[in-house]
Amino acid sequence: MTEARRKRLEEVLSRRQPDLTVLLENVHKPHNLSAILRSCDAVGVLEAHAVNPTGGVPTFNETSGGSHKWVYLRVHPSIQEAYAHLRARGFRVYATALREDALDYRQVDYTRPTAILLGAEKWGVSEEALALADGAIRIPMLGMVQSLNVSVAAAVILFEAQRQRLQAGLYQEPRLEPELYQKVLEDWLRK
C-alpha cells in the first residue's frame, strides 16, 4: 500500500454519503446489479440494499468495474425487513414506478436521508413494496418505449441526488462518523 493509494482511499471515503442509498427488489441480472453499484460508487453511496425473496445470491460481472469492492451490499430476507432497517436509520423510501400519479423524480429533496427503491427487470416494484413507500417517483418517458433499463433509471435518479448534494455542500466534509470512517478505511486498506 503506497501513500498515494491510501490518500486516494481517504479522499473517496470522505465523499461517501451514508444517508443515500438504493434498495433493489429482485434485481437479479448480474450486469444490472453491477452497473447499479458502479453508479452508486460514482455518486458516493456507502452501502446499497437488496432483497431477493425469489432466492439467489447477488452476483456481479465485469460491468461493475470492481465497484462491488467499494460499495457494500446488504441483503435483506424480505422487503418488510429492508424497510424496517432503513426506517430505523431515518431513511425515506421512494419507490420508482411507471404510474401517472408518481412524482417527477426531480421533485424529491435528495439531501435528506433517502433510499431509492428499484424493481425487477420484468415486473417492476411489487405492490407491497410500493404501498410501504413514502412516495412514488418516475422518470418521464416521452418516447415510444414504456420504461428504461433498471440500471439506467438508477443512474438518472442517483445523479440528480448527486447534483443536489453537491449544491448543498454535502461532499465537502466527511459525512461518516469518525468510528465508522475508521472501520471502513481499515476494511478498504485490506482490499
Nearest Cα residue to 23 out of 104, 88, 78, 100? 78
Contacts of 21 (CB under 8 A, 6+ apart): 40, 45, 46, 47, 48, 49, 86, 91, 114, 115, 116
CB of 31 to ligand SAM, least distance (A): 13
CB of 76 to ligand SAM, least distance (A): 17
Nearer to ligand SAM, 139 or 185 (CB): 139
Q: How far is CA 40 from the centre of its chain?
A: 5
Residues that bind ligand SAM (CB under 6 A): 96, 98, 118-119, 121, 123-125, 138-139, 141, 147-148, 150, 153
CB of 21 to ligand SAM, least distance (A): 14
Q: How far is CA 70 from the centre of its chain?
A: 13
Nearer to ligand SAM, 13 or 34 (CB): 34
Nearer to ligand SAM, 13 or 110 (CB): 110
Nearer to ligand SAM, 10 or 121 (CB): 121
Find where cell 454519503 sits. 17
| Residue 172 near residue 44, CB atoms below 8 Å | no
CB of 101 to ligand SAM, least distance (A): 13
